[in-house]
Structure 1
Amino acid sequence: SFGVIGAVLVENELHNEMYLKNIVFDGLAYGILTVSCNSWVAPKSDNSEKRIFFTNKHKASVFVLGLLMYYLISSAALGVSVDSAGCVYILCERKTNDRIYDYDVYNDLGDPDSKSELKRPVLGGKLHPYPRRCRTGRPHCKTDPLSESRSASVYVPRDEAFSKVKLLTFSLTTAEEVVHALFQTLDTIFVDPDLGFATFTDIESLYNEGIKIPPLSKNGFLKDLFPGILKCITDTEEQVIRFDTPKLFESKRQIFLVRDEEFARQTLAGVNPYSIQLVKEWPLMSKLNPEIYGAPESAITSEVVEQQIKGFMNLEAIVREIKGTTLYGSRTLFFLTPDGTLMPLAIELTRPPLDDKPLWRQVFTPSSCDATASWLWRLAKTHVLAHDSGHHELISHWLRTHCATEPYIIATNRQLSAMHPIYRLLHPHFRYTMEINALAREALINADVSSRHHSHQPRECCGGFQPRRMAETNNRDYPFANDGLSSGMPLGKIRTVGHGDKKDDPWWPVLNTSDDLIGTVTTIIWVASGHHSAVNFGQYAFGDEEYLGEEMESSWAENPKIKACFELFNRNLREIVGIIDARNKNKNLKNRSGAGVVPYELLKPFSGPGMTEKGVPNSISI
């Protein structure tokens, strides 16, 4: 008698919070009506505001819009302030059951109140441009008013927090304790702390024999905490911890330092396939500060390159002039051979003046004749792998997936109603990301990360693979790019506040048409799913993920058009599984098949139960 239901107001009269999954109305004249909530509702004693949930089937009526506007206005009396830029800030520290999405800079990476040497610069602003994180409202440090103090737990909006099952696989307190114990133990097993591991056998012993660790206050969750990483924990008086052998290392052992082919292949099919780019400028020029690192011209000369490519083709014919290059602490030059594999030509290492040592740079090349030169070449490759590992974790992984996605989560929840189709499309791809980021800030990340890489971040995302220019080579045997392009085919405030330090840069995509929107949304989904899968799961496999295109959202199932589109998307992804399997069996694709080569399955859309090292999860959740 009261018409078509558009929304439901919910009040929790229990003493504890309640997780509300669905509300189902049966017996209505127009059939069964479902309201998908999937949200925690705080008890009335903690929050007297009624929660509003919209039906899965809705129409943009005056009644629904009026109800929404009333609800938003009535929620404004929560102690807020508005700055000169129109940004709303909550004045108090966030509580566990809050659902407040707001922006802040990365000013909580240090702990200056504990030790003065733990003071860290603020990431975000003109000096250190960086994406924004979620505001926690914690008080600032006593010794540094620019830094936010630390607390026992880090606030994330209630619906972004881990479920109990997820929490069992990631306990911050236990993780910090284990990591601290491992570092203590590694210090004691080194023959010389300045030299690290004395032999390759010492490294392998971490997997084969294990290492003794100091007593932990609790170890019951260790196997759940690091699924697939910790192979064995002995519950004896002397606790011994063994790491599961990574699949790649298990089959390669010392090949990294022996075979140039494998060293090169990892740039295309390893855990960091984002660092390599096509050379289109010669001579190579550095963007490092010349006052510290000397002249910008690279020490890798034409003579060095032509000696290594041995007549494949003329250097001038393969290098086309174009501005811009990506540079790291070391520079490695590869040659793309006719069979699609890469051949390392030269490695340039440089060191700025340090203490009483002058500026130094040197070029190393492969050598099979001279034993000393051969070992120097292997050491140079080790330096490259160390640099690449740092770039991989802090830039390709943390900055370009975890860090870059958080502003999109905040903006989506601030600017879009939960019944908005774009909100419903993006929501599955944001699951657990804010929580994992908050835990990472507390336990893993510090502010020694250079923010200059942020200038390349949105351009990298919005331009797909083109910024690295590897797609221009038409290389059929680039596993990450080929599988990524296959997987990517079916796929206001963010710019001005979330990525505010780069809001005026010219590379932001135009958002005027439906096609513009499709491109932007596809990019966001790709970063949260395919990009993160490629740079994360090659390290260790994790199970119990929700995979891309596997489960249909309940609101989609009730719309025939959306349901049909999802089913088509699911079929396309299953076809990609077959395409990737065929590529891995193709003997002509030497970067992904052959003796001792691990098949490239990081972008294989689906996975079976357990840890399979395949499957593209919906969101950044580990």
Structure 2
Amino acid sequence: MGPRQGPCRIQRRMQEQLCRLRTHATMEPVVLAANRQMSVLHPIHKLLKPHFRNTLDTNSTARHIVIGSGDERQGGAFYRNMHEVNFFTGKYGMEMSSKAYASYNFTELAFPNELIKRGVARGDPKKAEELELLIKDYPYAVDGLEIWTAIKEWVTDYCAIYYADGDGAVAGDSELQAWWSEVRNVGHGDLRDAPWWPAMDSVDDLVETCSTIIWLGSAYHSAVSFGQYAYNGFVPNRPTITSGEMPADAKAAVTEAEFLGSITPKTETFGLMALTMNPPVKPGEPLMGERPDTEQWTSEQRAAKALLEFNSKLDAIAEAVKKRNADGALRNRNGPVEVPYTLLAPRADPTVPHVGGIPNSIAV
């Protein structure tokens, strides 16, 4: 670690590792266990399937190109294992991830719990619509709570159809129990005995767990991932690595050439830009609430009706986000550079090219 790597950069890198753990890494054992333990006709598999789309393929590609081990550049061309080669953490990146994972807690990833833990909200996390935000003009929290509430209402309505007999129906569902057992005991084997795991013996546990999974694979991933190009697109704004000694005199002038010569090299810069320059939402990518198999996914009319209601709520949230972004009194919605906060806009806006909506899953 070079002499210019200060505690702020280390903390930021840890936060980046945590975000990947909470999205890509959290979803993978859920997807694998669901496909191993639940029939495709199982109602919970049907509920969660749209949020699994392309996630395993995306993770596999990332392991190959982004987070693998060792420098595999050939002839100065684009290279693999970008993080280990080109981020200041170097070969310690995986160790940092392990340190971050030691504090992993699935229940804290439910959005209201996350806000409360970070000290920006207070109240009953089970009643997200009544949660008090301690920072009123906080776009991520305001938009996120509306989306979380809509997700949870949709999951509650859906589960009420298939688990009408209550907690006993959940506890007695062998496929569901096998799925959750594999997530906990195989997918997170080193944390299997942690006291915070949902017991999965009640409808409340099922609803909270499924809501958290949907939130992580869709809205949360969008919020922490799709704003990357605004920073990474101009690498001097956010160098991944610096080298060289700090000037002995804190007031000494540093030339542009000296600065550019000490940060991420040009070839690596192009690679980093390429990682984030693709549109976050590809044309045709199903957005939250959309199902390509809409007519075939269920014969249960109550479930189909609940999905329509979920989509109506998301449409209303999209309009509310636009109105808040247009409110000059909410200064944090646009910031000093006058770029509106749209990372949690659930619907694409054809009048604003960079607003692509929230995909159902971690597909990019």
Task: Give TM-score scaled by structure 2 length.
Answer: 0.61
RMSD in angstroms over aligned alpha carbons? 2.5
Q: 1:564 aligns with which of 301, 305, 313?
A: 305
Distance 2:295 2:11 in 1: 42
Maintained 8 Å contact 2:148/2:215? yes
Tell me the alpha carbon deviations over residues 324-356 of structure 1, each in whole angstroms, 9 at most, x when there is no partner.
xxxxx86xxxxxxxxxxxxxxxxxx5xxxxxxx
Q: 2:119 aligns with which of 469, 488, 491?
A: 469
Matched, 1:411 2:33: yes
Distance 1:467 1:414 in 2: 34
Maintained 8 Å contact 2:345/2:355? no
Maintained 8 Å contact 1:399/1:454? yes
Partner AA of 1:453 in structure 2: A
Matched, 1:613 2:358: no
Alignment of 1:123-134 (within 5 A): none
Residue matched to 1:548 = 288
Q: 2:211 aligns with which of 511, 522, 545?
A: 522
Partner AA of 2:358 in structure 1: V
- In structure 2, relative to structure 1, the CA distance for the partners of 1:195 and 1:461 (3 Å cut) is closer
Matched, 1:483 2:143: yes
Distance 2:357 2:103 in 1: 27
Distance 2:318 2:204 in 1: 27
Distance 1:525 1:532 in 2: 10
Partner AA of 1:490 in structure 2: A
How far residue 585 of structure 1 moved from its aligned partner, in angstroms, is 1.8
Name the SS of the counterpart of 1:435 in structure 2: helix
Structure 1 residue runs of 4 or more that deviate by more than 6 Å after TM superposition = none
How far residue 554 of structure 1 moved from its aligned partner, in angstroms, is 3.3
Distance 1:481 1:403 in 2: 23
The answer to which structure has the higher strand fraction is: 1
Partner AA of 2:58 in structure 1: I
How far residue 611 of structure 1 moved from its aligned partner, in angstroms, is 5.1
Residue matched to 1:434 = 56
Alignment of 1:127-166 (within 5 A): none
Q: 2:100 aligns with which of 448, 453, 462?
A: 453
Maintained 8 Å contact 1:429/1:618? yes
How far residue 418 of structure 1 moved from its aligned partner, in angstroms, is 0.8
The sequence identity of aligned pairs, in percent, is 37
Distance 2:182 2:13 in 1: 31
Residue matched to 1:494 = 183
Alignment of 1:15-414 (within 5 A): 349=7, 384=8, 386-387=9-10, 389-396=12-19, 398-414=20-36
Q: How many residues align?
A: 243
Q: Which has the larger radius of gyration?
A: 1
Distance 2:185 2:353 in 1: 40
The answer to which structure has the higher helix fraction is: 2
Maintained 8 Å contact 1:429/1:619? yes
Tell me the alpha carbon deviations over residues 522-571 of structure 1, each in whole angstroms, 9 at most, x when there is no partner.
10010000110001111133332221013363334532111110110000
How far residue 619 of structure 1 moved from its aligned partner, in angstroms, is 0.5
How far residue 500 of structure 1 moved from its aligned partner, in angstroms, is 1.1
Q: 1:587 aligns with which of 319, 328, 336?
A: 328
Task: Give TM-score scaled by structure 1 length.
Answer: 0.37
Maintained 8 Å contact 2:348/2:357? yes
Maintained 8 Å contact 2:318/2:346? yes
Residue ranges of structure 2 left out of the alignment (5+ in a row): 69-91, 123-132, 152-180, 230-278
How far residue 583 of structure 1 moved from its aligned partner, in angstroms, is 1.5
Maintained 8 Å contact 1:529/1:620? yes
Maintained 8 Å contact 2:219/2:358? yes
- In structure 2, relative to structure 1, the CA distance for the partners of 1:195 and 1:505 (3 Å cut) is closer
Maintained 8 Å contact 2:14/2:100? no
How far residue 608 of structure 1 moved from its aligned partner, in angstroms, is 4.4
Distance 1:465 1:555 in 2: 37
Name the SS of the counterpart of 2:101 in structure 1: helix
How far residue 437 of structure 1 moved from its aligned partner, in angstroms, is 0.7
Distance 1:611 1:507 in 2: 42
Distance 1:553 1:393 in 2: 35
Residue matched to 1:311 = none
How far residue 442 of structure 1 moved from its aligned partner, in angstroms, is 1.3
- In structure 2, relative to structure 1, the CA distance for the partners of 1:418 and 1:560 (3 Å cut) is same
Name the SS of the counterpart of 1:445 in structure 2: coil
